[in-house]
Structure 1
Amino acid sequence: MGRNTALETIKSQINENEIVLYMKGTREAPQCGFSSAVTKLLSKLKLPFKDVDVLENKEIREGTKEFTDWPTIPQLYMKGEFVGGHDIVREAHKSGELEQFLKDKGLLSRYQGKRTC
């Protein structure tokens, strides 16, 4: 997979899924604490998401950094928009901004009946 193919794959994944988390490992077996924390938050909010293990493909791992001009993993996308990495997602959740973002994007109401928090 070349650079352009990786960027096209990333763009496709983001456009075809409402929520995408580029992470180290998988939701069932995260390979870093930051990826694990974001996975746990999304699961706690009962938000379905596509997890992409960047450790499986170097071009995807490097492509995500180029795609967003963001140097670290995990990277969270919702409705095609880059939300942020671990620290930003955590702070947005604490401040209530994440919930407002979910409402604005129509994601909260869709999954509201399934939420536990």
Structure 2
Amino acid sequence: MDEETKNFIQSNIDNNNVVLFMKGTPDAPQCGFSMAVSNILKGLGVDFKGVNVLADQNLREGIKVYSDWPTIPQLYIKGEFVGGCDIVKEMYQDGELQKALDVK
């Protein structure tokens, strides 16, 4: 991964409490998994930054290297990598996601 991509990823994680690296945007997701995570966050009323990895091939591959996680979407809360769609869904169903986000 090039330095510019790494800095872009780090900056988004550092400057936003909740960041979703996704395919598409929160209002126009381009895959079902990205839509599912985006909809969970919206349903909880969470203010989050959606980063469209399809806009930049370096970003699309770089985020996988950065997190050492092979799939997209990827959710970060308060600077920490949470996981992808399956993990976020499971955490939401268990109430763990709400705790991590400080919402009810």
8 Å contact from structure 2 (residues 21, 75) kept in 1: yes
Q: Percent identity?
A: 52
Highest Rg: 1 or 2?
Answer: 1
8 Å contact from structure 2 (residues 53, 59) kept in 1: yes
Q: In the aligned structure 1, how far is the partner of 2:95 from the partner of 2:51? A: 26
The gaps in structure 2 that reach 5 residues or longer are none
Question: Partner residue of 1:64?
Answer: 63
Runs of 4 or more consecutive aligned structure 1 residues displaced over 4 Å after TM superposition: none
TM-score by length of 2: 0.95
Cα distance per residue 1:34-75 (max 9 Å; x no partner)? 000001000000001110100000111111001110000000
Question: Partner residue of 2:75?
Answer: 76
Task: Specify the code of the residue in structure 2 equivalent to 1:44.
Answer: G
TM-score by length of 1: 0.85
* RMSD over aligned Cα atoms: 1.2
Question: Partner residue of 1:17?
Answer: 16
Please state which structure has a larger fraction of its residues in strand: 2
8 Å contact from structure 2 (residues 77, 100) kept in 1: no
